[in-house]
A and B are shown apart, each in its own frame.
Chain A
Amino acid sequence: MASVTFKNVFKNYGDVEVIKDFTLEVEDKEFIIFVGPSGCGKSTNLRMLAGLEEITAGEILIGDRVVNDVPPKDRDIAMVFQSYALYPHMTVYDNMAFGLKLRKTPKDEITRRVNEAAEILGITELLQRKPKALSGGQRQRVAVGRAIVREPAVFLMDEPLSNLDAKLRVSARAEISKLHQRLQTTFIYVTHDQVEAMTMADRIVVLHAGILQQADSPRNLYNFPHNIFVAGFIGSPSMNFFDATLVKEEQKMYLDSGDFRIEVPSDKMETYKAYIGKQVIFGIRPEDVHVPQYAPVDITPAPISGSIEIVELLGSELILFVNAGSNSFVAKVDTRYEVKPGDSVDLVCNMKNMHIFDKETELAVR
C-alpha cells in the first residue's frame, strides 16, 4: 500500500518526446486508470513506474521514495501484462510462486499465499496445469494471481482484458473491481477502452500525445470535460461539435452556426459573455439530443432540425445520423421514435448539458 507520484516526468526515445511534463499524484488505495488512444504514452508511463523503462527527466515516487534508479524487483510492485507473460515451462502454481521463491519466502508461506490467491480467483483446480492447457480467461486469472500473491504496494495492469472476448471482459471487469475493494491496494491500470475506464476507476487519467489532458473522477470527466479531446474521447458515440459564433440580441444569447441558431439558456449567459461576437466550438452529446415528444421533462430544450442520413437501432437505443446543412451530428434517442433515412426531423438539444470550447485553446469555457 503506497501512494504514487509522478513529478514533471519526461520520456524521450531519441528525438521523439513520448511523455511531456507528466505530473500526477495517486493516493494510497486509489484505482487509477490511464486511458487514451494508442501511442498516447499511457503504457510508457506504467512501464516507467514499473522500472522497465528509464525516465528521461523528472521523478517518480512510490510512497515517499524516489524510484528513478531502483530496479523493478525492489520497487514493491506487481504487474499484469497484456499478453499475461506466463512462464510456459512452469505450472500455474510455480508461475505464482516464482516471485515469492526469489524473495526467499518460507515454503509454507508460499503455499498458503498461492492457495489463498487461487481460491480468490477460482483457479484452485488449475494449479498443476501448464499455461498452454489454459483458456484465455484462465490465463488472465493466473496472471492476476501471480501479482496478488506478491502482496505488492502498487498493482500495475497493462491492458489485462484486451485479449479476452467481449462477454468475458464484462465479467472480468466486475471481478477486478471486487479485487480492488478486497485487496485495498493502489491499482494503476492502462487501457484504451473507455468503458473499462469509466466502470472501474476511482479516477481516470486521460492522455493524448504524451500530455496529460485531464485527471478526474469518471463522472466529472463525462460531465465536465476539460477540453475538446477529452470531450470527444469519453462517451460513445462521441460528442457532436459545431463551429458557431456567439451572438447577443435583445438580452438573449444565441449560437449561430450559419445553418441553425440555438438559444443559450439565460443562466449560462454570464459564463460566456466574454466570447460574445467570437467564434467558439459548441459541443453537445448525442444523448442530449432528444425527440421532442419523448424528451424528459427537466431539460432546457432548444430546437435543431435536419434530415436523417442513417438510422441504427441497437435494441436499447436508437442512433440517428442527422444532416443539418453543412454540419452533421449524431443523436441517441428514444427507441419508440420511428423514422427512416431521408426524413426531415425536428429535434431538441438539452442546453443544460451544453459545452462551449474556445476555438484557439480548445479548452472548455466555464
Chain B
Amino acid sequence: MQTTESHPSHNDTGGMAALISRIALAVITPLIIFYALYQGFLFLRDGDSPKWAMTLIAIIWGVGGVAALYWVFNWLVEMLPLAWMQRLQPFVFVGPALAILTWYLAFPALRTFWISLFDRGGPPEQFLATFTSWPPDSWVGLQNYTSIFSERLMRETFRNNLMWIVFGSSFSVAFGLLIAILADRSRWEKVAKSLIFLPMAISFVGAGVIWNFMYEVRPSSVPQIGLVNAIVVALGGEAHPWPAYTAISPWNNLYLIVIVVWLQVGFSMVLFSAALKGIPEELKEAGRVDGAGEMRILSGIMIPYIRGTIITVWTTIVIFTLKIFDVVWVMTGGQFGTEVIATQFYRQSFVARNPGYGSAIAIILLIAVIPVGIYNLRQFQDREVF
C-alpha cells in the first residue's frame, strides 16, 4: 500500500500526478482498512473455529482495528496544511468517543423521551409517518408526566427514593468518615479497612441474597438461620418475619437502605481515609497550639479541609441511590411500599408493558440525576490544593 508518493515530494516533474495519487491514497487507504475490518467482522460472525481461537482473533481484530483506524485518520490529518491539522487532529482522538457516546447515550435518551410522549401503543414504526398523519393514535403528549405526579403509587415511589437519597447517602458518608477517622488512629487500620472494604466486591444482587438470609425467619421450634432473628431470639425475643414491618412503612425502606450503606461505606471510607492522610500534620499541630481540642481540630480543621472529597463522595452516592434498583428488586420486588423510580420504570416498561409510561419515569430519573452529576463534576474540576 505504500508508494513513493506517500510523502509530499517537491522535485517531481508531474506535480499534478503526485497530487492525484495522494488524493487517491487518502481515499483508498481508509477503504482498505474498513474492508479489512468488515471481513474480520464477517469472519467472527460466521466462523466456527474453536472458542479460544475466535477470542484471540476478536481481541487482535478489535484492538488492532481501532489502532489502525486511529493511525490512518491521524495520517490523513497530518497530510493537511498545519492550520487545518491543528484544528482537526483533536477530533481524530476524541471523535470516536464522542460518536460512541452519541450513539449509545444521547440517541437512546432522546428516543426514550420520544417514546414517553406516547401511550402503551408506542410511536408509529415509521418515524416520518408520525408527522404525515398527525396526531398519531397513540400520541398522549405530556400526559404520562402529569399522571406520574398525580398517582398515589408514584408519589410513594418518589418518597422512597427521597429516603434512599437522604438516608443512604448520609449514612454512607457519616459511617465512612467515622471509620476513616477512627481507623487512622488505630493500630489495626489495615485489617479494619480491608474488612470494611470487602462488601464493595459483592454485587448488589448478591448482597440482596445475603441480606435475605439476614432477615430470614424459621418456625420457633427450629434454630434461626437469619442473623437478625437469631439475635432477637438470643435476647429472649420472639422470631418474627420481617415483612411484618410493612406495618411501619415507610420505615421498612431502611431495612433495604442499610444494605447499600453496608456496601458503600467501604467506598466512602477509602476516599475519606486518603483525604485525611493528605492533611498536613503541621495544620493539626497549629490547631493544637492555637488551643483546639481534638474534637475541635476534627470539626474546625480536618473536615473543612476534606470538604471537597465529602461533597464528591456524597453526590456520587446520591446519584447512585437515585438509580437504585437491584437491591429493591431482589429483596421485596417493590412490595410493601418499597417501590423506587427504577423498579417502577422496569415494572411499567416490561411487566405492565407500558413503555410510554416507563420511559416518562426514566426521563424524570434522568432529569433528577443531571444536576447532581453536574455538581459532582464541578467538584472534581474545582478541586484545588492549597
Contacts and interface: CB of A to CB of B under 8 A. Distances in A.
B218 interface: no
A85 B285 contact: yes
Contacts of A71: 288
A15 B301 CA distance: 34
A73 interface: yes
A321 interface: no
Contacts of B292: 73, 98, 102
A137 interface: no
Nearest to A50: B289
A103 B291 contact: yes
A52 interface: yes
A58 interface: no
B290 to A, nearest CB: 4
Interface string B272-304: 000000001011011111111100100011001
A215 B290 CA distance: 29
A136 interface: no
Contacts of A161: none
B386 A77 contact: no
A87 interface: yes
A146 interface: yes
B280 A83 contact: yes
Chain A interface extent, by class? 20 to 34
Interface in B240-258: none
B383 interface: no
B384 interface: yes
Contact of A146 (B280, B282, B283, B290): B290
B374 to A, nearest CB: 23
A103 B290 CA distance: 9
B311 to A, nearest CB: 13
Given A81-B282, A83-B280, A89 B304 contact: yes
B236 to A, nearest CB: 46
A85 B291 contact: no
A90 B303 CA distance: 13
A88 B288 contact: no
Contacts of A103: 291
B382 to A, nearest CB: 12
Nearest to B301: A87
A87 B305 CA distance: 8
Nearest to A75: B289
A52 B285 contact: yes
Contacts of A99: 289-291
B111 interface: no
B289 A102 contact: no
A79 interface: yes
B87 to A, nearest CB: 36
A132 interface: yes
Given A81-B282, A85-B283, A89-B304, A98 B384 contact: no
Contacts of B386: 86, 88, 131-132
Contacts of B290: 73, 78, 98-99, 102, 146, 150
A52 B288 contact: yes
B307 interface: yes
A89 B311 CA distance: 15
A52 B282 CA distance: 10
A72 B286 CA distance: 10
A89 B305 contact: yes
Contacts of B287: 87, 98
Contacts of A90: 304
A238 interface: no
B183 to A, nearest CB: 23
A120 B47 CA distance: 84
Contact of B289 (A72, A87, A89, A132): A72
A89 B307 contact: yes
- 10 nearest interchain CB pairs? A88-B386, A99-B290, A85-B286, A73-B291, A85-B282, A89-B304, A102-B291, A72-B288, A81-B282, A79-B289
12 contacts: A79-B286, A82-B282, A83-B280, A83-B282, A85-B280, A87-B287, A87-B301, A88-B305, A89-B304, A98-B292, A102-B292, A150-B290
